[in-house]
Chain A
Amino acid sequence: MQWNVGASAYYVRDRGKGQGGVSVFGEGLGSTLSAYNGSFVFDIPRDYKADIVWLGMNFSKNPDFWLDPLQITGFLNFNLGSVRTNNDGSYNKAADIFGFAGNLRAAYRYGRTLNDNISADFIYASGDKNGIDDQKYSGVITGNTWGMPASIFVGTGGYLLFPHANVVNRFTPAVSDISNMGYGLIGGTMNVTRDLIPNRMYVKGGTAMAISPVSPQQGGRLLGTELNAAISYSFGPFMSLEMHGAYLWLGDFYDSQDDAYGYAVNGNSDTRPVNPFTVFIVYKWLLF
């Protein structure tokens, strides 16, 4: 069984001064857009220049899940660079950037079909405890900062703590960007799926939990704990009726109204927001 290893390098030369993008909020390091998609807001004027590089590697063993009952995938990605702001005509350093994120997912196919599996998914994203006051940002930056739905942590089995692939608007969960607004993320999920009728009907149960490496002011580190379940019945090729449900116990992270990173952690609520839940039925039919 061979390992697949890949490497990636991306570079963004941001001279857009916060303009453009798909929304009225503009885009970029200081954009209000981040208040909606969960990324970190740099407290800088719009007239800035940024050069950011992402260097990463990913690996997988048995990605198709057929050759072996054990599947392992993961990635490690670093973002590094700098941002400079215009001070009376000259651009001076506002912050150096260095953050990283790593992910490891393992799944075991205990039964006959691909749905007979148990999986665990872990992610770590570095955070920053004092914003760019020290002229350093040690958190993670993703494509969300520019309105690109990249690096969305879907496929984990979570619904409310992390984004779920079935939800069109993927910016509704507690942690919609792995930077967790710049505070960082230590999270994991565990899921068990079983085919009650091979390739026709499956049930799934899962849990997700996350903490923040950095506490917001007047808040704790626990982001939340989720329990979820799903049942799906397939009527034919690429046609299924599914019911999903999830409940999230919000952690003490959301006791905080800290808005030092651009917007209030808990939406400016005086108390911790109520625990969210979701139940939905979806009929899927892929036509091609």
Chain B
Amino acid sequence: MKTLSKMKTKLIAPLLLLFLVSCAPYKNIPKISSMSDLKYDYQVKYANLSDNIKLAYIDEGKGSETIIMIHGLGSYLPAWKKNIGELSKYYRVIAVDLPGYGKSSKAPHSGKMSFYAGIIAELIQKLELGPVNLAGHSMGGQISMVLALEKPELVKRLILVDPAGFEYFHAGQKNWFKEVMTPNLVRLTPVDAIETNLASNFFRMPDDARFMIEDRIAMRDAADFEAYCLAVARSVYGMVDEPVLDKLSAIKMPTLIFFGENDMLIPNRYLNPGFTVKIAEAGAKLIEGSKLVMVPKCGHFMMFEKSDVFNTETRKFIN
């Protein structure tokens, strides 16, 4: 046993050292008591809308054209941070936190696409904006399409970024979404899965997108986090319950559509595996006169991962 003792001494020490030096990731993320404590790069304003909804938004730049940016599922307005600065040089840019998300109020709501579209319509009217350019990412794209269909007079142009709503789901698949996406699933998502979920939005996750992971981790301590989880789950129900695929041909305003060629969320990789370009082309074909831009080496978060392409093409489109 002498040999054993000697070996133990030689081996245990370096192993313990290795264990101790291994860092706990994200240990320095500051705790927040409310999602209002999240740090945004722009001054946040609030609009008091009907049903006591307090909508957080940023309003940057000036110009004859206004762009309203609507984020996707589980996201928030900083998702547009690489577009707001550039586009606000030429246009008035308004980016919103949808009700239940970010710094907006968290009272429970239906999560329906028509509910969110109504909120945007109310904001347009409250700020007396007139017809605007609507830019929607993912779920925000579906909300934009619903608003364009319900109140076309408020929408001058549509800019859709990897929009939800182009993909067909049958009844069984819709039920699967509803059964899987519960508030508890959102609430109990562990750090590893938060990382993976965010990273799967990109072809190659850029370092400057890590703030989304850190913010999502920090949110878990916020008092209004459970309300956010409910909003996310209900938003999924809203997306599957209010499909727009069979109504796309009714969209008549100029429409610019972006898709990352390597979007790993559209089509759904479990339910409808296949090529993104097929979904994108089929959807674009239904919107008369729309322009489709397929962006190579780019994932679902196109406006962030290839912000230069988004900003340039958007300027060309509006001008």
Contact = CB atoms under 8 A, between A and B. Distances in A.
A7 B15 contact: yes
B64 interface: no
Contacts, number: 82
B127 interface: no
A53 B11 CA distance: 11
A199 B269 contact: yes
A24 interface: no
Contacts of B271: 236-237
B18 A67 contact: no
Nearest to A8: B15
B77 interface: no
A112 B7 contact: no
B169 to A, nearest CB: 13
Interface residues of A, number: 32
Is the contact region of chain A dominated by helix, strand, or loop, or is it mixed?
strand
A101 to B, nearest CB: 14
Interface stretch (A14-22, A77-85, A126-134, A272-280): A77-85
A104 to B, nearest CB: 15
B9 to A, nearest CB: 11
B16 interface: yes
Nearest to B204: A69
A66 B196 contact: yes
B264 A78 contact: no
Contacts of A67: 195-196, 199, 205
A113 interface: yes
A27 B203 CA distance: 50
B108 interface: no
B269 A78 contact: no
A68 B207 CA distance: 10
A199 B273 contact: yes
A200 B22 contact: no
Interface string B261-276: 1101000011101111
A82 B4 contact: yes
A263 to B, nearest CB: 28
Contacts of B1: 51, 82
A167 interface: no
A82 B23 contact: no
A13 B205 CA distance: 48
A111 B16 CA distance: 38
Contacts of B12: 55
A113 B3 contact: no
A53 B4 contact: yes
A51 B8 CA distance: 13
Interface string A229-240: 000001011000
Contacts of B192: 64
A236 B8 CA distance: 51
A183 interface: no
Interface string B1-43: 1011001100110011011011101000000000000000000
A82 B15 contact: no
Given A7-B18, A64-B195, A198-B269, A98 B7 contact: yes
B38 to A, nearest CB: 22
B273 A80 contact: no
A98 B7 CA distance: 9
B200 interface: yes
Contacts of B270: 199, 237
18 contacts: A4-B22, A6-B22, A7-B16, A7-B19, A53-B4, A53-B8, A64-B196, A67-B205, A80-B4, A81-B4, A112-B261, A112-B262, A112-B264, A113-B264, A197-B274, A199-B273, A200-B273, A236-B271
Given A7-B18, A57-B15, 7 more contacts: A2-B23, A4-B22, A55-B11, A56-B15, A68-B204, A111-B262, A197-B273
Top 3 nearest A-B pairs by Cβ distance? A199-B273, A5-B22, A66-B199
